[in-house]
Amino acid sequence: MCGIVGLVGPGPDPAEEIRTAGRMLAALAHRGPDESQVSRLGDAVFGTARLALVDRPTSQQPMQDPGGRYLLSFNGEIYNYRELRNSLELEGVSFRTAGDTEVLLQWLIRWGTDRLADLKGQFSLAFWDSLSATVVLARDRFGIVPLYFTRVFSERIAFASEVKAIQAGGFQVPLSMPDVIDSGVFWGVHPGRSPYAGVESVPPGSYVRFRSGVIDRGAYWQFRFPPERVGGSLHEQGEHLSTLLTSAVERRVPAYGDPAVLVSGGLDSTAVLSLLRGVRPDARLRSFSIQFAEKALDESGFQKLAIQMFGTDHCSVTADDETVATNLVQTILHAEAPLVRTAPASSYQMGREIASRGSRSVLSGEGADELLCGYDLFKVAGIRDSWSKDPESAVWPRMLEEALAPQRGLGRTVERAFYEQGLDQRADPIFSHQNRWRSSFRITQYLAPEIRAQLDVERVLDGVRDRLPGEYAHWSAVEQAQYLEVTYFLSSALLGSQCDRPYMAHSIEARYPFLDEDVVDFALTLPQSSKLDGMNEKAVLKAAMGSTVPQQIRDRVKQPYTAPEGNVFRSEAGKVLLETYLSRPALKRIGVFDIDRVEWLLRKLERSRTSFYDDLAILWVLSTQVLADTYGVADHL
């Protein structure tokens, strides 16, 4: 990937705008260490910090067309650019370079936003037409690649891959408390929002067009389940999925360097590794794993099975409480969002190790759980849906116990009481996530009284309800849960805070075969039973992989990827973090948290075992404090 920045609209001092874009670009040097360039065309100044993974010699950016009318800055890769190039050449377009940037430029010149859906890849882009004085910002289907923009004056905008670059341009971007609260409740923000006042993100699968001070928004793709589903046996569906995944992996093999895979020890990453070995049988493959010092989190045995079967050059790092705490502040600053899990700090550590070994891109298994019902929450959603229709039955509580048995929970009685809440509210469209989000809302008790007094849980949840698509009501409870996970967790937290930001902090690009357009389109047409068959998650993926992955991995119970939480703050480095950011003077300086309540929580951390939601709250408060120190806080809720 790369980093892109830009200023669009009439400005008083062209030379100063170029200098401003240069400062913005310098803030993104970690995203593009190979080349850095700023270009001006009419009322647009674009900049690109390039991580050259395709056509290193000639595909410099920003790129102009030969006629000098158009300008493109582009972050990511278009995996089907060769097919698009062939299509354009049949229409008489000639090319000067061998990469995807010029193909994308010519595709946009020919089609504009009309055929963005034809692009297969992970990308964000800025495309300027100097004749019409129009800029288009666009982003891939799932928001793998970030892109933010803010209105500077009535007829000017600034955009960048990361918010820190907008701030480096001299623009104020204070934290927006409503969005900070959303980030703690939903583990993500609403599509198109950001944790910063006045800063929007281009929503996944969408574009933003800006001309003469007017912003026009549109979606070229949306996550939707079609009314009709594919037929065939599970075996036949699995064979087709295997074919699609093989092509998806093939597309993502980098042009330079040895192919590499992140190996967790679960089915998804092992499937990617298996397919990669299939398309590169004789290649040197690299693999990377995170191991956890805490025994309950350790998956190293399954990781060893995978790397031995497929013969990789393997490297692993151990994440313990001390190293997670040591990396946490830099992880937060790169994530640019409040965190509720420490896992991104482990990714940050992994990214540094990958870079030290000379790799620049890695394949990863993210997206499979959301598409193919890998999380326990999907089982729970289906069980609670049936339970709500038959509340006196003893069957559903037993099934719930079975679904939650592998987890280290609060105890069966407490878990049953938690999930039994709200059974009479099946008509609520967010039924599948209602309990989780209401529980997460408890973090707001640590906000300052004047902020807390303005909050209402229903009003916060209405932010989701009011944004749901019309088709949503026709989907099953499990499919509704899939939509909510993809919309709120996948893009913001998983692909953003846990993957793109910590890896790109070290100039490492992660690639996701399960989010390939063809794979996704097929997965959306599958009947629910092919994904979640009773208690059997990802049934179609298990059918697709057959005996090509170790049986112990294929048939193991899903273990959510997690990292140390509360104990991180009991380590020596963790204690320093608390003293620095959660001391009484630090809390008073920022002014958004209730000092007495936060101190009560810290005493609990010191004296006794903390709950899941206690740990979530500590991290959310601390990461908000870190960001507020850097960006400030807007003076309104």
Nearest by Cα to 147 from 198, 215, 199, 99: 199
The phi and psi torsions of 623 (rounded to 5 degrees) equal -70, -35
Paired strand residues for 58: none
Length of the chain counted residue by residue? 637
Please, what is the Cα angle at 479 between 476 and 483, to 5 degrees? 135
Instruction: Look up the pTM and report it.
Output: 0.95
Q: Please name the helix (run of DSSP H) or strand (run of DSSP E) that holds residue 159, with its range, or none.
A: strand 156-160
The DSSP code for 430 is T
What per-residue confidence (pLDDT) applies to 544? 97
Residue that the structure tokens 């794979």 belong to: 519
Q: What is the mean pLDDT of each run of 10 residues along the chain (637 residues)?
A: 92 91 97 90 95 68 96 95 97 94 97 97 97 98 97 92 98 97 97 97 98 96 95 96 98 87 95 96 94 77 92 93 97 98 95 93 96 95 93 89 69 66 92 94 96 95 97 97 97 96 96 98 97 94 94 79 78 97 98 98 92 94 98 87
Q: Three-state DSSP class for 427?
A: coil
Residue labelled with tokens 């759980």: 369
Q: How far apart are CA 525 and CA 528, in angstroms?
A: 9
Q: Decide: 396 and 387 in contact? Cβ < 8 Å.
A: yes
Contacts 24+ apart (CB under 8 A), 65-68: 65/105, 65/106, 65/109, 66/96, 68/41, 68/130
Contact 329, 342 (CB under 8 A): no
Please report, for residues 54, 55, 120, 260, 506, the alpha-carbon distance to residue 255 in angstroms, rounded to integers and kept in the order given.
6, 8, 17, 12, 19
Q: What is the Cα–Cα distance from 39 to 25, expressed in whole angstroms? A: 12
Q: How far apart are CA 215 and CA 135, in angstroms?
A: 10
Does the CA dihedral 116-121-122-126 come out positive or negative?
negative
Please give the pLDDT value at position 258.
83
Looking at residue 410, its pLDDT comes to 43
Tell me what pLDDT residue 298 has. Answer: 75
Strands (E), 376-519: 509-511
Other CB atoms closer than 10 Å to residue 217's CB: what's the count?
Answer: 14
Rounded to a whole number, what is the distance in angstroms from the first to the last CA of the chain? 35
* Predicted local confidence at residue 411, as pLDDT: 43
How far apart are the C-alpha atoms of 433 and 29, rounded to whole Å? 39
Per-residue tokens: 539: 């049934």
Token code pair at residue 631: 């960006």
The amino acid that residue 217 corresponds to is R
- Identify the residue whose tokens are 């389940």: 225
Q: How many CB atoms lie within 10 A of CB 12?
A: 6
Cβ(577)–Cβ(411) under 8 Å? no
Contact 154, 163 (CB under 8 A): no
DSSP state of 447: B
Q: Where are the alpha helices (DSSP H) in 298-411?
A: 300-310, 321-335, 343-356, 368-372, 376-389, 395-404
| Helix intervals (H) in 169-292 | 177-186, 234-251, 267-279
C-beta separation of 100 from 59 below 8 A: yes
> What is the C-alpha separation between 22 and 620, in angstroms, rounded?
33
507: left (phi over 0), alpha (psi -120 to 50) or beta: left
Adjacent-strand bridge partners of 318: 291
Neighbouring C-beta atoms of residue 555, cutoff 10 Å:
11
pLDDT for res 155: 87
Residues 106, 606: Cα–Cα separation, whole Å: 60
Which residue intervals of 506-594 are DSSP H helices?
Answer: 517-525, 528-531, 539-545, 551-554, 572-581, 584-590
Identify each DSSP E strand in 355-506 by its residue range: 361-363
Pairing status of strand 156-160 against strand 536-537: unpaired
Whether 426 and 463 have beta carbons less than 8 Å apart is answered as no
Residue 289 structure tokens: 């794993």
Q: What is the pLDDT of residue 57?
A: 67
Do strands 286-292 and 260-262 pair parallel, antiparallel, or not at all (unpaired)?
parallel
Report the C-alpha gap between 67 and 529 in whole angstroms.
Answer: 54
Residues 47, 37 contacting (CB under 8 angstroms): yes
Task: Supply the pLDDT for residue 431.
Answer: 96
Residues 507, 355 contacting (CB under 8 angstroms): yes
